[in-house]
């Protein structure tokens, strides 16, 4: 995966290659995928951003 972005001092190219797996990405090259920061983090951790998961339940500790 390559990410190109602009910073005040110029363009920056960031690249990550998974050792044993592949990033889960649309099969159609014409399909555009817009993701937020959370989904990008999941994707970079190797998670499938399209697969639903159960809602997390939080409780407070006293």
For the chain, domain boundaries: 22-62
Q: How far apart are CA 24 and CA 31, in angstroms?
A: 13
Question: How far, in Å, CA of 48 to CA of 62, rounded?
Answer: 35
Q: What percent of the chain has pLDDT over 90?
A: 8
Give the tens place of pLDDT for each residue, 2-27: 888 888 999 999 888 777 777 666 67
| Token code pair at residue 22 | 């592949």
User: Residue with structure tokens 């939080």?
Assistant: 58
* Average pLDDT taken over every residue of the chain: 78
Tens digit of pLDDT for each residue in 24-53? 666 777 777 788 888 888 877 777 777 766
Which residues, including other chains, have CB under 8 Å from residue 55's CB and lie 6 or more apart?
A: none
Q: What is the pTM of this model?
A: 0.51
């Amino acid at each position: 995966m390559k990410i190109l972005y602009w910073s005040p001092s110029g363009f920056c190219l960031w690249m990550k290659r998974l050792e044993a797996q592949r990033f889960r990405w649309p099969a159609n090259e014409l399909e555009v995928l817009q993701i937020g920061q959370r989904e990008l983090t999941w994707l970079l951790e190797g998670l499938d951003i399209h697969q639903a998961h159960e809602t997390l339940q939080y409780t407070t500790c006293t």
